[in-house]
Amino acid sequence: MYQNLIFDNSDGVVRITLNRPDVFHALSPTLISEITSAVRIASNDDSVRVVLLTATGEKAFCSGADLKEAVASGQSAAEILRDYYEPMITAIRDIPKPVLCRMNGLAVGAGCSLALACDMVIAADDAYLSFAFVQIGLMPDAGATFFLPRLIGLARSFDLATNAQRIYASHAHDIGLIARCVEREGLDALVEKQLQHYRHAPTKAIGAMKHAFNQSMHSNLPQMLENERESQEMLFGTQDVKEGIAAFFGEKEG
């Protein structure tokens, strides 16, 4: 079904593993389309509660755009962004389920954008990010100009984007660019622990949170209060809430 990634759907967890190790999992149009398709399949499957995005090997999560493939496609930069990157990033942000990034190695250029589009990045401490667009005369894309300032502010975003330095995972964690950093030996254990948490968590509530956080980035307080009211009303009718309230009162009585 897929040429450039490994797709596994089991026990409520979809694992999407980039698999182009010869080019450090560079984003070709085919790979981007496959990522988008895999995320949409996970979104439409009610049995799926959490998605993991990672890559094979230990050297790279994603080395960015496959420039050779992009040039060979004959499409303009605008067409490639519109037809491939934008649907992929939108699919990750719109899926009403948590998307975790297991950053097993370097994430460069659009590989950074892909990681930051996920809801939580868990990185090995020897992995690094680099917004290397400027090195070939380009600006960050695939959502990076949206995510970066909101995560770390304008000054740091300008610094990272214009100097293209390596940001190792520990520093990325310290400045709020990623959620978790762990020694490589503990990466899989931490990722699995987080996956199991979300596999058993109330998915509708988490989906509502994700939607609200997305909206909060370009909304005002009255709009967010309305969003909270409408979402909370919807959630109050779910089985998760009924069971949660019953368990709460059971504990109180005990």
Residue 107 shares a structural domain with residue 130: yes
* CATH number for 239: 1.10.12
43 and 116, same domain (yes or no): yes
pLDDT of residue 173: 97
Q: For residue 197, what pLDDT is reported? A: 96
| Alpha-carbon distances, residue 134 vs 27, 50, 65, 101, 175 (angstroms) | 18, 34, 13, 24, 21
Answer yes or no: do 150 and 242 share one domain: no
Contact by Cβ (8 Å): 16, 48 = no
Domain harbouring 188, CATH code:
3.90.226.10
Do 169 and 220 fall within a single domain? no
Q: Is the pLDDT of residue 251 over 70?
A: no
The verdict on 236 and 150 lying in the same domain is no
Residues 72 and 159 in one domain: yes
Judged against a pLDDT cut of 80, whether residue 249 lies above it is answered with: no
Both 187 and 222 in a single domain?
no
**248 and 181 in one domain?**
no
Report the distance separating Cα 63 and Cα 132, nearest Å.
Answer: 10
Q: Which helix (H) or strand (E) holds 77?
A: helix 77-80
CB atoms within 10 A of CB 68: 11
Residue 253 has pLDDT above 60, yes or no: no
Per-residue pLDDT of 134-161, as tens digits, reads 998 999 999 999 999 999 999 999 999 9
Which tens digit of pLDDT belongs to each residue from 84-99?
999 999 999 999 999 9
Count structural domains, the chain: 2
Residue 254's pLDDT is what? 53
72 and 93 fall within a common domain: yes
Q: Which of 131-135, 204-208, 235-239 shows the lowest per-residue confidence on average (mean pLDDT)?
A: 235-239
- Between 74 and 119, residue with greater pLDDT: 119
> Do 111 and 231 sit in the same domain of this protein?
no
140 and 19 in one domain? yes
Express each pLDDT in 183-207 by its tens digit: 999 999 999 999 999 999 999 999 9
194 shares a domain with 132: yes
Amino acid at site 2: Y
Cα–Cα distance for residue pair 106/126, rounded to 1 Å:
9
Q: Which domain holds residue 80?
A: 5-200
Report whether pLDDT(252) > 70. Answer: no
Q: How many percent of the chain have pLDDT more than 90?
A: 76
Report the half-sphere exposure of 168 (CA within 13 A, side-chain side): 6
